[in-house]
Amino acid sequence: MTASPHGPFENLRHDLGDALILRPLKPEHAKALGAAMAEIPPWSVVNWSAPSIAASLQREVPALKRFEVLQDGRLAGIVAIQNPFLHGPYLQLFCVLPEFQGRGLGHRLLQWMEDEAHKGGARQLWLCVSTFNTRAEALYRRFGFEQAGLFDKLAIDESDEIFMRKRLF
């Protein structure tokens, strides 16, 4: 991974090795990501349309950094981090596209988030996951996240949202 003279999540490009690159989301990739995400859980479950997702990916939000994920030069997903949050960053959006799943990218991206958070002296990492998204929840738990709260029927009536935290020290 390349060293950074900047604060956490401030580099324009993050080289994680093995041809895994994070860089600011390009507007032209928001539409492609929106189309892909609309077809897969959790976005398909909550019926988010491709245009709605693409529009949300391009909306300016203070303190939110969006990074497209490239593997071997191909668009593999997106990560959005809100920093600062509660004494550490919040993983606002996390998507590894299906053809890139099962290769350890999710773990590597979470490790990158933790490494960046350490640069800023963060005490914890935060995220929220739907209870129907059991595969993502399992990844987060393997990485050390624990339930910090539960919001019933927040996104849809058939599911709850688990607010999760990983303590860094």
Are the beta carbons of 19 and 111 closer than 8 angstroms? no
* pLDDT exceeds 70 at position 3: no
For residues 89 and 122, the answer to whether their CB atoms sit within 8 Å is: yes
Contact 68, 22 (CB under 8 A): yes
48: Cβ contacts below 8 Å, ≥ 6 apart:
37, 38
CATH of 14-167 among 3.40.50.2000, 3.40.50.620, 3.10.129.10, 3.40.630.30: 3.40.630.30
pLDDT digits (tens, 9 = 90+) for 15-59: 999 999 999 999 999 999 999 999 999 999 999 999 999 999 999
Helix 27-37, helix 50-58: angle, nearest 10? 140
Give the pair of three-digit tokens for residue 123: 């005490």
pLDDT for the residue 120: 87
List pLDDT tens digits, range 74-127.
999 999 999 989 999 999 999 999 999 999 999 999 999 999 999 989 999 999
Q: Is 41 left (phi over 0), alpha (psi -120 to 50) or beta?
A: beta
Question: Which tops the pLDDT comparison, 99 or 4?
Answer: 99
Mean pLDDT of 4-10: 68
